[in-house]
Amino acid sequence: ARTVGVLALQGAFAEHVDYFEACIAQYGHPVHVTLVRTAAQLDRCDALVIPGGESTAMTQIASRMGLHEALARFVQDPRRAVWGTCAGLILLAREAADAAPASAPQRPAALVEPLQALEVAVRRNAFGRQAQSFVATCDFSAFLGPTETQGFPAVFIRAPVIEHVLDPERVEVLHRLAGADGTAGTGPVVAVRQGRILGTSFHPELADDTRFHDWFLREFVLRDTK
């Protein structure tokens, strides 16, 4: 069996566990899901999910717990699968910039220390404040496959966007939102894949739909065991 760890320092980790457990119960995947808080726990994992939450807080907690280096090593390991959602995507990125609202006072230097595994530059809080959170119904059937319900409710909460793909040869854009004029697929990039690494701006673990988690298990975690 494969072991999927969910980083449990802060944020929406319990939801990821629940969604994976639902997939395992439904399909009998040979997968074990566990919470990760120490380097020893991380070491036992074949895959890691870095959840949504607050990337600054997660950076600080990881450093304080001496986990930052172990995480950096894990996400660089070509044998391990990794998925970052929202704050998790920020932590996986090569570069992470803060949103800079025109009227905001000068902020201290960014406190996020990205792990630099995913060759993208992200901008934090790119859609505005908490109140501007939203759900976009997205068609992910190109990679999730056709199902009865094509629309997937993608939940964006103070989400980052992927502003630049730094290595287009390695990073595949999985999804762009609609543009400002409503044209599908011309807006911000919100889901990318770089081989064994998946990054999503939104929270599939809050979608009330386990298709994304099932796809991650099949496509990233169990793939070479088929």
Annotated binding site: 53-55, 124, 157-158
Nearer to ligand GLN, 29 or 158 (CB): 158
**Of the candidate residues 124, 193, 196, 213, the single one contacting ligand GLN (CB under 6 A):** 124
How many residues bind ligand GLN, per CB under 6 A? 11
Residues 126 and 205: beta-carbon distance below 8 Å: no
Measure the CA angle with vertex 126, ends 84 and 112; round to 5°: 55
Give min distance, CB of 88 to ligand GLN, in A: 7
Q: Binding marks (x or -) toward ligand GLN, 8..47, rule CB under 6 A?
A: ----------------------------------------
Pick one of 4, 157, 162, 206: the residue that binds ligand GLN (CB under 6 A): 157
Measured CA to CA, the distance from residue 177 to residue 150 in angstroms comes to 15
**205 noted as active-site residue:** yes
User: CA-to-CA distance for 226 and 94, rounded, in angstroms?
Assistant: 31
Burial class (CB in 10 A: 0-12, 13-18, 19+), 162: buried
Active-site residue 203, yes or no? yes
Binding flag, residue 196, ligand GLN (CB under 6 A): no
Among 86, 138, 177, 192, binds ligand GLN (CB under 6 A): 86
Q: Whole-angstrom Cα distance, residue 179 to residue 5?
A: 35
H-helix or E-strand containing 119?
strand 118-123
Helix or strand run (H / E) with residue 216: helix 211-216
Query: Could you say whether residue 206 binds ligand GLN (CB under 6 A)?
Result: no
Alpha-carbon distance of 120 to 187, in angstroms, equals 16
The distance of closest approach from Cβ of residue 37 to ligand GLN in the complex, given in angstroms and rounded to an integer, is: 18
DSSP 145-157: ---S--EEEEEES
Quick one: which segment of 83-91, 100-108, 180-188, 210-218 binds ligand GLN (CB under 6 A)? Answer: 83-91
In this chain, which of 13, 45, 53, 199 binds ligand GLN, going by CB under 6 A?
53
226/95 Cα distance (integer angstroms) = 35
Q: What is d(CA 60, CA 68) in angstroms, rounded to the nearest whole number?
A: 9
Least distance (Å) from ligand GLN to the CB of residue 68? 16
How far apart CA 4 and CA 17 sit, in angstroms, is 9
With CB under 6 A as the contact rule, the residue among 54, 119, 205, 214 that binds ligand GLN is: 54
| Catalytic choice (16, 86, 138, 213) | 86
Q: Write out the catalytic residue numbers.
A: 86, 203, 205
- Residues at the site binding ligand GLN, with contacts judged by CB under 6 A: 52-55, 86-87, 90, 124-125, 157-158
